[in-house]
């Protein structure tokens, strides 16, 4: 008994030691594993982006009172006198142009004005010509061409058809040589009887005959094509030419009798008319077709070429083209005047007191330091957003008046957005949320056709300006989602974000992510979720710190609690995503 107890104790010690050793081995192996973790804000998108309604609009952040300086790509900036964040006073020099380029640009702008002025003169001349065109409805009546009468065609005499009462072996054909191409022709009536002797004679000569059957009015009905080589004399007997066919006595229609016997090949093709021998079908003199006399049509030029409706459309199109040219001329003249002012000293000065929010580099600095493009993560970009006006500005000076959001609104929706209306604004870049108060709507439309989802394409678009209540987390030029609060949503800041669904794992009815803790070790973090979007994205309503948390792709043998982590910016997606 004691030996058994000792043996069991030894076995327990061996098993325990083995298990402890395996655990130490696993711990040592896990200590060497490193898992990539990605900041949540690189893959998170505001939940509002997935909830588009008729009231959602795309907008961008701008300075309410700002001076924006735009520089052509062909214009060289010789020197920049301010820095970003610097306070400037009205009249302070912002930048100075290379005067060589300015003078060249001035000449180009003068030439552009002359070209547009010449285009307007040509368009106005063409408009005057179109207005002088006469419509096709007023075209004088043209004399009809006299078409001469055609000579009468010669009448072809038709031989009177004489039918035989019976066909015997001695009867002579009307015509034909008896070949398959030119068979003997026999004219028959509906009561004509074909004698056995006729069939025997035809078989003996091995000739072909055509038995043409006519009615009482000499109208052709049908014909029998009988080949002597196919006649079986043992079965030959007298027969009537109407055997095997049915003739309707009321309408004269002919059909094959399904129970009748066909004595040859039945044909309904109309035979060529028989022309008596010696008939002269040629006229005494050759027929000459007279040429019709076509009256000469006067040359009206462009008159009578277009209808009144077509002329009205041409006039409207030409007038619209002239208006566009006049607008282009005003723009070119304004650019010319601006270029003339810059020609004096080539300097651009501040027109307001404010802070420099954006400033470009001089040509020398740009050449010395290659520009590095700062691309936003693909999942943070709005694929439907148009570039804002600030994107191409060389310099922006923000004055008093705060920061505003600018968006385009269909004209049919303007009545719903008077001054004072509160809007919800959410950033596409970082999910920041605030409210904005509508301050004004521009008088002139920004475009004459709608470019928004679910908007009437025939309605014009107007730019709406709204002042941000809190601009702390918003950057000038960034795109934002603008919406009208519905059902008391105003003032509610949503912390929900949308993540790729494959970064969330489900455990029973719970959901969790694998994130890095403060010691850069993986831990399990349970989260609360909301809507599932198309099986690719899922709404996370709680349990994550969007700005600070870092999570990993939660699958694989290396992903377990306690494993070391390292930071990465690569968001993983399945190959079929």
Q: Each residue's pLDDT tens digit in the chain (577 positions)?
A: 666 677 677 666 666 555 555 556 556 666 778 999 999 988 887 766 665 454 678 888 887 677 888 876 666 888 899 998 898 988 899 888 777 766 777 888 889 999 999 999 999 999 998 888 888 888 887 777 666 666 666 665 556 688 888 988 888 888 888 898 899 999 998 889 999 889 888 888 889 999 999 888 888 888 999 988 888 888 888 889 888 888 887 887 888 888 888 888 888 888 876 655 555 555 556 656 667 666 676 777 788 888 889 889 999 998 999 999 999 999 988 888 877 776 666 788 888 888 888 888 887 887 776 655 444 444 344 444 455 556 678 888 877 667 889 988 888 788 888 988 999 998 887 778 889 999 889 888 888 776 555 456 667 888 999 988 887 788 777 888 888 876 554 444 456 788 998 899 988 889 999 999 999 999 999 999 888 877 788 889 888 888 899 999 888 888 889 899 999 988 888 765 5
Q: Do residues 136 and 164 make contact, with C-beta atoms less than 8 angstroms apart?
A: no
Maximum C-alpha span of the chain: 151
Rounded to 5 degrees, what are φ and ψ at 199? -65, -35
Q: Do residues 206 and 194 make contact, with C-beta atoms less than 8 angstroms apart?
A: no
10 Å CB burial of residue 124 (0-12, 13-18, 19+) is middle
Q: Scan for tokens 């009537």, then name that residue.
A: 240
Residue burial 175-207, b: 16+ Cβ < 10 Å; e: rest: ebebeeeebbbbbbbeebbbbebbbebbbeeeb
Query: Domain 52-96+354-368+384-483 is in which class?
Result: mainly beta
Q: How many CA atoms lie less than 13 Å away from 462 in the CB half-sphere? A: 16
- Structure tokens given for 358: 């954006």
Query: Domain 34-46+495-567 is in which class?
Result: mainly beta
Which residues, 6 or more positions from 173, have their beta carbon under 8 angstroms from its beta carbon? 184, 185, 186, 209
pTM for this predicted structure: 0.31
Tell me the CA distances in angstroms from 9 to 2, 13, 17, 22, 238, one per residue in order.
11, 6, 12, 20, 127
Residue burial 208-217, b: 16+ Cβ < 10 Å; e: rest: bbbbbbbeee
Residue from 519, 515, 530 nearest 561 by CA: 515
Q: Do residues 568 and 520 make contact, with C-beta atoms less than 8 angstroms apart?
A: no
Listing DSSP states for 492-506 in one string gives: PPP--EEEEGGG-EE
Residue ranges of domains in the chain: 34-46+495-567, 52-96+354-368+384-483, 103-133+308-347, 164-248+262-267
Q: Scan for tokens 């070391």, then name that residue.
A: 564
CA dist 538 and 572 (Å) reads: 16
- Structure tokens given for 547: 């700005």
CA dist 419 and 295 (Å) reads: 73
CA dist 479 and 11 (Å) reads: 70
CA dist 422 and 491 (Å) reads: 9
Tell me the CA distances in angstroms from 441 to 145, 354, 461, one per residue in order.
67, 24, 11
Give the angle subtended at the CA of 274 by the CAs of 270 and 275, to the nearest 5°: 145
């Amino acid at each position: 008994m004691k030996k058994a107890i000792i043996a069991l104790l030894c076995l327990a010690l061996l098993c325990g030691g083995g298990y402890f050793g395996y655990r130490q081995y696993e711990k040592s192996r896990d200590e060497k594993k490193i898992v990539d973790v990605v900041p949540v804000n690189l893959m998170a998108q505001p939940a509002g982006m997935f909830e588009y309604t008729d009231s959602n609009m795309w907008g961008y952040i701008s300075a309410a009172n700002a001076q924006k300086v735009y520089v052509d790509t062909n214009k060289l900036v010789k020197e920049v006198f301010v820095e970003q964040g610097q306070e400037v006073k009205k009249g302070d020099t912002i930048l100075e142009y290379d005067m060589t380029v300015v003078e060249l640009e001035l000449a180009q702008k003068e030439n552009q004005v002359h070209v547009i002025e010449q285009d307007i003169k040509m368009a106005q001349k063409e408009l005057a010509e179109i207005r002088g065109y006469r419509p096709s409805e007023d075209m004088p009546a043209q004399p009809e061409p006299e078409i001469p009468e055609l000579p009468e065609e010669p009448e072809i005499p038709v031989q009177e058809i004489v039918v035989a009462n019976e066909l015997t072996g001695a009867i002579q054909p009307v015509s034909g040589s008896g070949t398959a191409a030119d068979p003997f022709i026999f004219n028959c009536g509906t009561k004509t009887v074909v004698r056995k002797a006729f069939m025997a004679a035809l078989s003996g000569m091995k000739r072909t005959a055509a038995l043409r059957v006519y009615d009482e009015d000499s109208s052709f009905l049908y014909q029998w094509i009988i080949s002597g080589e196919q006649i079986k004399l043992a079965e030959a007997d007298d027969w009537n030419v109407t055997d095997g066919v049915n003739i309707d006595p009321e309408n004269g229609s002919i059909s094959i009798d399904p129970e009748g016997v066909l004595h040859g090949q039945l044909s309904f093709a109309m035979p060529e008319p028989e022309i008596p021998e010696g008939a002269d079908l040629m006229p005494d003199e050759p027929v000459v077709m007279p040429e019709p006399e076509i009256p000469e049509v006067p040359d009206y030029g462009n008159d009578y070429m277009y209808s009144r409706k077509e002329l009205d459309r041409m006039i409207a199109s030409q007038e619209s083209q002239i208006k566009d040219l006049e607008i282009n001329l005003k723009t070119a003249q304004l650019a010319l005047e601006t270029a003339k002012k810059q020609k004096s000293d080539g300097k651009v000065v501040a027109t307001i007191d404010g802070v420099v929010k954006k400033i470009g580099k001089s040509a020398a600095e740009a050449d010395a330091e290659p520009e590095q493009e700062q691309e936003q993560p693909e999942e943070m970009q709005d694929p439907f957003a148009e570039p804002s006006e600030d994107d191409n500005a060389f310099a922006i000076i923000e004055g008093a008046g705060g920061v505003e959001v600018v968006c385009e609104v269909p004209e049919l929706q303007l009545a719903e957005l008077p001054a004072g209306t509160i809007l919800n604004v959410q950033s596409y870049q970082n999910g920041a949320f605030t409210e904005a108060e509508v301050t004004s709507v521009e008088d002139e439309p920004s475009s004459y056709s709608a470019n928004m989802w679910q908007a009437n394409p025939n309605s014009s678009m107007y730019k709406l300006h709204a002042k941000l209540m809190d601009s702390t987390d918003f950057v000038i030029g960034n795109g934002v989602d603008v919406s009208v609060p519905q059902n008391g949503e105003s003032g509610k800041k949503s912390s929900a974000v949308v993540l790729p669904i494959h970064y969330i794992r489900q455990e029973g009815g719970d959901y969790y992510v694998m994130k890095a803790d403060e010691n850069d070790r993986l831990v399990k973090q349970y989260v609360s979720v909301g809507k599932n979007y198309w099986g690719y994205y899922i709404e996370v309503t709680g349990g994550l710190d969007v700005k600070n948390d870092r999570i990993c792709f939660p699958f694989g043998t290396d992903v377990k609690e306690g494993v070391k982590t390292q930071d990465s910016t690569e968001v993983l997606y399945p190959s079929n995503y």
